[in-house]
A = this chain, B = another copy of it.
Amino acid sequence: MPEKIKRLALIGIGLIGSSIARGACEYGLAEEIVVQTRRPETLEAAERLGLGDRYTLSAAEAAEGADLVIASVPVGAYGAVAEEIGPVLKPGAIVSDVGSVKAAVIRQVTPFLPEHAHFVPAHPVAGTEYSGPEAGFADLFRSRWCILTPPEGTDAAALASVRAFWEGLGSNVETMTPEHHDMVLAITSHVPHLIAYNIVGTAADLEAVTESEVMKFAAGGFRDFTRIAASDPTMWRDVFLNNKEAVLEMLGRFNEDLSALQRAIRWGDGDALFELFNRTRAIRRGIIAAGQETAEPDFGRAAAAKTV
């Protein structure tokens, strides 16, 4: 059982912030939770859902006196949050985030934090295609990985606290450099989102195939891509603007490989196609074995349909 956080301030209370709030409450990780968000309507929703003990539209007010501050805002907004809360942080306060990109967030945040506070950047690798406070749930992070990317010289006690907090939410915790994180996530998350957005856009723009046909016959595979392409546009715009190098690098690899496949199709090279198609199955088996995916056919959609 990790030591309870005395006062936890949550800056941003969307899918991720509200899931942290619910989890912290359910698993008794904090004595007091202060909730902040930008717009009054989101704050009202958070209050209606009972996500915290106190509610405010001011990030500075929320952060003042807090022992752990976790910001859960779009990747491009962390600098402004840090600038606002920097001056009021108490000595020994720990600041963390959940941004899907790490090097750029660290660059934005660090200049605004006082010497007497500790910054422990974090990224829970968990989410859904929905956003806002209603979309969160306490077990979003259970059995998922949370990656910490502490800059060199990070206070060991602060790092241990943040690790214990995420373990308290049910996550497995791993530590790596921000640069490596950004490379890993470029391939496991950012490029997959980009190509999903892209193919859905391509399908919508065709003249030879109507949008109604695309929707009717989506069960052939296309619909899997639309889930990802329904994710929050602001969040994803910020991810691509802030992880440009790693995304372009991985996209370059993807394009090279796709050109080779294209050539195999053009020249009828069935063996090359078979070899790739056979090899990729092992990766899914590995993901299922690692507890990161269901083995149910079709993601268990049939079971989901029955419980609704």
Q: Does A253 contact B (CB under 8 A)?
A: yes
Residues of A199-231 whose CB lies within 8 A of B: 199-206, 208-209, 211, 213-231
Interface-lining segment among A3-11, A22-30, A57-65, A184-192: A184-192
Inter-chain CA distance A225–B238, complex, in Å, is: 23
Question: In the bound complex, do residue A277 and residue B228 qualify as a contact, i.e. CB atoms below 8 Å apart?
Answer: no
Residues of A156-211 whose CB lies within 8 A of B: 174, 183-185, 187-206, 208-209, 211
Interface-lining segment among A81-89, A105-113, A291-299: A291-299
Q: Which residues of B contact A200 (CB under 8 A)?
A: 280, 283-284
The number of times this chain is found in the oligomer is 2
Cβ contacts A269-304/B at 8 Å (1 or 0 each): 010011011111101111101101110111111111
For residue A221, give the distance in angstroms from its CB to the closest CB of chain B: 4
Question: In the bound complex, do residue A279 and residue B201 qualify as a contact, i.e. CB atoms below 8 Å apart?
Answer: yes
Interface-lining segment among A32-40, A114-122, A259-267: A259-267
Question: In the bound complex, do residue B299 and residue A227 qualify as a contact, i.e. CB atoms below 8 Å apart?
Answer: yes
Question: In the bound complex, do residue A213 and residue B192 qualify as a contact, i.e. CB atoms below 8 Å apart?
Answer: no
Interface-lining segment among A42-50, A91-99, A242-250: A242-250
